[in-house]
Amino acid sequence: MTCDRPFHDQVPALLQAMDSSGRLTAVTDRWLSWLGYERSSVMGRPWREFLTPTAQLQLAGLTELDWVNDPQADRVLSFRTAQGEVVEAHVAVSLLQDEAGLPTTYLVSLREALSVHQPACDQAPQAAQPVCEKWFELITETRRDVFWIHDAQTRRPIYNSPNFEAVWGLKPEDLQPDLQTLLARIHPDDRETFAASVRDQYTQTAQFENTFRICLPSGEVRWLQEHYFPLLDEQGRPARLVGVTSDITEQQQALLAVAQSEERFQLLAQNLQDVFWLTDMQTGRNLYVNSAFETLWQLPRSALAEDPFAFLQRVHPDDLDRIRATIQTCIAETRDFDVEYRLQLPDGTMRWIRDRGFMILDDMGMMTQMAGIATDITTRKQDEVYLQQYERTIAAIPDAFCLIGQDYRYRLSNAAYQDWFHQGRDVCGMQVADCFGEDFFNTVSKPRCDQALAGHTQCFEEWLYNPHQETAKFISITYAPLLRSRWSNWWRHPLYS
């Protein structure tokens, strides 16, 4: 603990040091300010106690040494502040070893922490005590970011960490005193803003942040973000400028991908005839519903913003209790639902709806949101009623008769058809090819079906051999479309022997 005060005085960053058991031995002032703790209340405590339960689960079974040896050691973790708030940061672990190569101190650094707060003093890192010099070297030379120091009076670079060349594609010795070499790397659309920020940064007394793009000779474009703050002299004027430059290209590309995905989602959702909805299960608020809701429910979307259950206003009284109970039960049991119900609309019409809800769970298995799709199935319900009526009609026909859909599947068949062709077996839902074989279907049945689907009635008289009977029979067979507005894509297949 003898170097704790120099450590947190000289390093204006969010850092913590731990012993081999993971207990805190040193923290910076910035660390305390970020999490809102007093130094006396944190020293000697396991550092994982300051993580959220979710973050602790992320690290379950992983030791600090495992983390150091992990090539993907930079993780995003959530911390709990003294005030109960949750904050996140990229966390990297470095290791100090003794002469025998045994771990003595683990150093944890957070990437975003350098963006805020004034350092405790204006001394440059070179003035730190020997032990802190070693820590400074470890911090700056093992991080993926570029750590740099400029003289605020001469406006010249004093120090650039080794990662400078990897990020900027320039060697530190190639930098011109007026930073023109650096300026030439800036994307043309960002150059004017960057030049203005460079002029201003040497006179400001507060921390500053800048995001910009650079163009490498290879043609690659990178997004960089700089956080810098001044070290003030005794008169309160900037003496040194300390900063960190981070390559945030991956984050920007991810944000761009999210924005493009959001744009595609909006385009899709607003053109769907189905209703797409999303509800926050913690607050009960409706987060999103597309414009199809207003068409289908004849209610403004704002009604759901005021009351997430406003959609129940249109549910038919005979279905209301059943639907409400089903949805509430599924929510209580954290499971999806799939229900059908009727809407009774102000214009006197009635519509059938199929409503499906899907639970969205967090990492702890807790339900956070519910997404759903509501589909107008009125036509399907009308078709089902019509089929039931049609079934009674064809059942009374003595000749073999069937109804086949556009997908070449049987929808209906009477007893005479089933007895003659299939020994009394119900063929509803089966494909014609499954019943008569692929060859007969492709050469005989399908061409005739296609003509019927196109609206043409065809009559044939021919000998037909039934594999379930011993002899062939001479029959009269008719293929005809079922002429009804919705049913024009169906055809009937009456068979007269």
Say yes or no: 232 and 153 in one domain.
Answer: yes
Say yes or no: 244 and 326 in one domain.
Answer: no
The confidence score (pLDDT) of residue 77 equals 86
What single letter denotes the amino acid at residue 316?
H
Query: Which whole-number Å values give the CA distances from 59 to 7, 78, 131, 460, 467, in the listed order?
Result: 27, 11, 29, 76, 68
Say yes or no: 161 and 120 in one domain.
Answer: no
259 found inside a domain? no
**Taking 80 as the threshold, does the pLDDT of residue 465 lie above it?**
no
The answer to whether residues 202 and 241 touch, using CB atoms and an 8 Å cutoff, is: yes
CB burial of residue 297 (10 Å; 0-12, 13-18, 19+): buried
Residue-wise pLDDT for 47-93, tens only, equals: 889 988 878 877 877 777 777 666 555 678 888 899 888 888 888 78
Report the distance separating Cα 413 and Cα 38, nearest Å. 82
The pair of three-digit structure tokens given for residue 458, joined into one six-digit string: 């065809």
The confidence score (pLDDT) of residue 351 equals 94
Average pLDDT, the chain: 79
Report the distance separating Cα 219 and Cα 187, nearest Å. 11
Say yes or no: 195 and 219 in one domain.
Answer: yes
Residue-wise pLDDT for 7-24, tens only, equals: 444 455 678 888 888 889
Q: Total structural domains in the chain?
A: 4
**pLDDT above 70 as % of the chain:** 79
**Taking 60 as the threshold, does the pLDDT of residue 112 lie above it?**
no
- 272 vs 183, higher pLDDT: 183
**Taking 70 as the threshold, does the pLDDT of residue 323 lie above it?**
yes
The confidence score (pLDDT) of residue 67 equals 73
- 12 vs 389, higher pLDDT: 389
Residue-wise pLDDT for 148-172, tens only, equals: 888 888 888 877 777 788 888 888 7
- 183 vs 270, higher pLDDT: 183
266 found inside a domain? no
The answer to whether residues 34 and 115 touch, using CB atoms and an 8 Å cutoff, is: no
Say yes or no: 121 and 204 in one domain.
Answer: no
Q: State the pLDDT confidence band at 271, using cuts at 50, 70 and 90.
A: low
Phi–psi pair at 315, nearest 5 degrees = -70, 135
Give the end of a domain, one of 252, 284, 317.
252
Q: Hunting for tokens 């040193």 — which residue is that?
A: 26
Q: State the pLDDT confidence band at 353, using cuts at 50, 70 and 90.
A: very high
Say yes or no: 12 and 118 in one domain.
Answer: yes
Q: State the pLDDT confidence band at 350, using cuts at 50, 70 and 90.
A: very high
Say yes or no: 212 and 296 in one domain.
Answer: no
Q: State the pLDDT confidence band at 269, using cuts at 50, 70 and 90.
A: low
Q: Where in the sequence is the domain holding 408, given as residue range(s)?
A: 391-496
Number of residues written out for the chain: 497
What single letter denotes the amino acid at residue 258?
V
209 found inside a domain? yes
The pair of three-digit structure tokens given for residue 264, joined into one six-digit string: 């595609």
372 found inside a domain? yes
Max CA pair span of the chain? 115
pTM score: 0.42
**pLDDT above 90 as % of the chain:** 16
The answer to whether residues 212 and 193 touch, using CB atoms and an 8 Å cutoff, is: yes
Q: State the pLDDT confidence band at 421, using cuts at 50, 70 and 90.
A: confident
Report the distance separating Cα 150 and Cα 159, nearest Å. 7
Say yes or no: 479 and 429 in one domain.
Answer: yes
The pair of three-digit structure tokens given for residue 326, joined into one six-digit string: 């089903």
228 found inside a domain? yes
What single letter denotes the amino acid at residue 264?
R
**Taking 50 as the threshold, does the pLDDT of residue 317 lie above it?**
yes
Torsion of CA 119, 124, 129, 134, to 10 degrees: 90
Query: Among candidates 449, 462, 458, 459, which has minimal Cα distance to 497?
Result: 462
Q: State the pLDDT confidence band at 493, using cuts at 50, 70 and 90.
A: very low
Select, from the ranges 148-152, 283-287, 469-473, the one with the highest average predicted confidence (pLDDT). 283-287
The confidence score (pLDDT) of residue 73 equals 54
- 478 vs 386, higher pLDDT: 478
**Taking 80 as the threshold, does the pLDDT of residue 263 lie above it?**
no
Report the distance separating Cα 141 and Cα 164, nearest Å. 10
**Taking 90 as the threshold, does the pLDDT of residue 419 lie above it?**
no
Residue-wise pLDDT for 114-145, tens only, equals: 333 333 333 434 433 444 444 455 555 545 68
CATH of the domain at 109: 3.30.450.20
Give the end of a domain, one of 348, 376, 404.
376
The confidence score (pLDDT) of residue 446 equals 92
**Taking 70 as the threshold, does the pLDDT of residue 229 lie above it?**
yes
Say yes or no: 28 and 85 in one domain.
Answer: yes
Say yes or no: 110 and 87 in one domain.
Answer: yes
Say yes or no: 321 and 366 in one domain.
Answer: yes
Measured between its terminal Cα atoms, the distance across the chain in Å is 104
214 found inside a domain? yes
The confidence score (pLDDT) of residue 383 equals 78
- 57 vs 312, higher pLDDT: 312
Report the distance separating Cα 157 and Cα 141, nearest Å. 17
52 found inside a domain? yes
Q: Three-class SS string for the chain? A: CCCHHHHHHHCCCCEEEECCCCEEEEECHHHHHHHCCCHHHCCCCEHHHHECHHHHHHCCCCCHHHHHHCCCCCEEEEEECCCCCEEEEEEEEEEEECCCCCEEEEEEEEHHHHHCCCCCCCCCHHHCCHHHHHHHHHHHHHCCCEEEEEECCCCEEEEECCCHHHHHCCCHHHCCCCCHHHHHHECCCCHHHHHHHHHHHCCCCCCEEEEEEEECCCCCEEEEEEEEEEEECCCCCEEEEEEEEEECHHHHHHHHHHHHHHHHHHHHHHHCCCEEEEEECCCCCEEEECCHHHHHHCCCCHHHHHCCCHHHHHECHHHHHHHHHHHHHHHHCCCCEEEEEEEECCCCCEEEEEEEEEEEECCCCCEEEEEEEEEECHHHHHHHHHHHHHHHHHHCCCCECEEECCCCEEEEECHHHHHHHHCCCCCCCCEHHHHHCHHHHHHHHHHHHHHHHCCCCEEEEEEECCCCCCCCEEEEEEEEECCCCCCCCCEECCEEC
Mean pLDDT on 392-403: 83
The confidence score (pLDDT) of residue 319 equals 95
Say yes or no: 327 and 300 in one domain.
Answer: yes
The pair of three-digit structure tokens given for residue 290, joined into one six-digit string: 């597309």
Other CB atoms within a 10 A radius of the CB of residue 61 amount to 6
408 found inside a domain? yes
The answer to whether residues 497 and 475 touch, using CB atoms and an 8 Å cutoff, is: yes
